[in-house]
Amino acid sequence: MNRLVKSRIEQLARKAPGDCLSGGLKGIEKESLRVLQDGNLALSPHPAALGSAMTNRFITTDFSEALLEFVTPAYPNTWEALRVLCEIHQFTYQALGDELLWVTSMPCLMSDDDAIPLAQYGDSNVGRMKTVYRNGLGYRYGRRMQTIAGVHFNYSLPDSFWPVYRDLEQSQDSLDSFRSDSYMGLVRNFRRFGWIVLYLFGASPALCKSFMGGRESSLKEFNENTFFEPFGTSLRMSDLGYNNSTQARLRISLNSVDEYIDDLSAAICRKEPAYAEIGVKVDGEYRQLNANQLQIENEYYSPVRPKRVARSGERPTAALQRGGVEYVEIRSLDLNVFDPVGVNQNTMRFTEAFLIYCLLSDSPAFDDRAWDEVAQNHALTATDGRDPALRLLRDGTEIPLRDWANEIFEDVRSIAELLDNGDEGNSYTAAVDALALLVEQPDETPSARVLQDMRDKGTGFYHFAMDRAAGHKDYFAALAPLDGDRVAHYVDEASASIQRQAEIEASDTMSFDDYLKKYYSEQGCSDCP
């Protein structure tokens, strides 16, 4: 067991047994594509019954009109977040008609890249900016890549934890500064150790050949319509997805909040020759917001982000600058194809305990070697994570993935025991113990189960995903209907969201060109867009 982690756990247990760790807030953002009965991408507009995609607090869209995003509030208990996520699914299915929700992270049948519809957010300047930003993503990375879906897990430790932890660390910093620095240490360690999330929860070892759009690939052929990696865990998080080469060149510092903000801001203002060739405003139409390395902060596809709840109209970096880090957003979870809502309590409980492990572990600053190791370990686990012979790099030394994973589980289990805090069911410990078995049983991981299901049924990715999508729709149809109050809750939010969008549109007082100039001038970019 890691000595430092052990010492900190023991001190926390003596100081405030369990109480200071229990009750951390957990929220979920879950993406799913709307698809037709034949598995092709739905080209219809965002369903009107779901309200405004720009302002609905629970149901929005990501890149495409077809890519729904379900958002839960943050709750102290995992079951509350999952209950609301289930409700949102039930409410949404009522508005989908014959359409299905695609259940895998890698997308459905794809035709031409240009046929994928961009998300629309109305006529306001902020709404137009959202759509132009997505148009820019399409030009930069291709629209297919932007239809990849996942689960984001938002987490903050309870407020009561931070004074206790600061005292234990004998820090003289203000509580806000101490909290921000500690969260940044967590973020660095999640990058160091986050390969284990791909191993445990990766569920995208295969994809439809249509996703490649005729491009050459080193992937193996599963059958006539499916590519795969035999030991793959998460092609979503490989260089085919969010870990693409363009993004890999961006090394945004994680060594402090200030450096993180400075590097993101610099990337938004720094010209990128390849993007300049695309053009910004061509024949009177915006192709992208700017020709810089990043259009906005959210374009940086990190597996984890330090966050603060932003005020209306406030940029993410401005929110961080105002108040420091408030929570972290974990972005490396694949959709769980075996669970109707895409995620389950065991995943959430392990992830919470693992994040605390990342916080309590020593977290030295990143240098070039650390960045190189992180990138290599991440890439290898995404494509070959279940290979029994796989070795990762830890501080310049090779170590078998299994050995390293077992070490992590030993520490995470101790944290789970604290989180259980007298719970007779030992729900956190049970979750960690169940997942620990997957280290020695890689055939039981979600990624292995996907491939085995395809082999057992003699089908490829398309038929596997379609069967699951139909089954999940049947699951929600069979549930007891939402009671009147819960239906009214979501109906009222949909109606209110339309009104909020109308108010935003009515309040605009400047042209879109001037709006963009003002937006970027506030970031210190003098020649944007």
Distance CA 418, CA 433 (A): 14
Of the candidate CATH numbers 3.20.20.30, 3.30.590.20, 3.30.870.10, 3.40.50.150, the domain formed by 3-521 belongs to 3.30.590.20
How many other C-beta atoms can be found within 10 angstroms of the C-beta atom of residue 272?
17
Query: At residue 243, does pLDDT exceed 60?
Result: no
- Residue 242 is predicted with a pLDDT of 62
Under 8 Å CB-to-CB from 339, ≥6 apart: which residues?
A: none
The pLDDT of residue 422 is: 67
* Residues 503-523: tens digit of each pLDDT: 999 999 999 999 999 999 988
Structure confidence at residue 334 (pLDDT): 98
Confidence of residue 14 (pLDDT cuts 50, 70, 90): confident
Helix (H, G, I), strand (E, B) or coil at 9: helix
Tokens found for residue 231: 């030991």
Q: Is 124 a residue whose pLDDT tops 90?
A: yes
Window from 42-56, 231-245, 434-448 with minimum mean pLDDT: 231-245
pLDDT tens digit sequence for 64-77: 999 999 999 999 99
pLDDT digits (tens, 9 = 90+) for 285-326: 999 999 999 999 999 999 999 999 999 888 999 999 999 999
Average pLDDT on 52-60 reads 98
Q: How confident is the model at residue 286, as a pLDDT?
A: 98
Separation CA 352–CA 347 (nearest Å): 9
- Residues 401, 381 contacting (CB under 8 angstroms): yes
Domain boundaries in the chain? Answer: 3-521
User: How much is the pLDDT for 245?
Assistant: 62
Residue 212 CB coordination number (10 Å): 15
β-sheet bridge partners, residue 459: none
Rounded CA gap, 483 and 91, in Å? 11
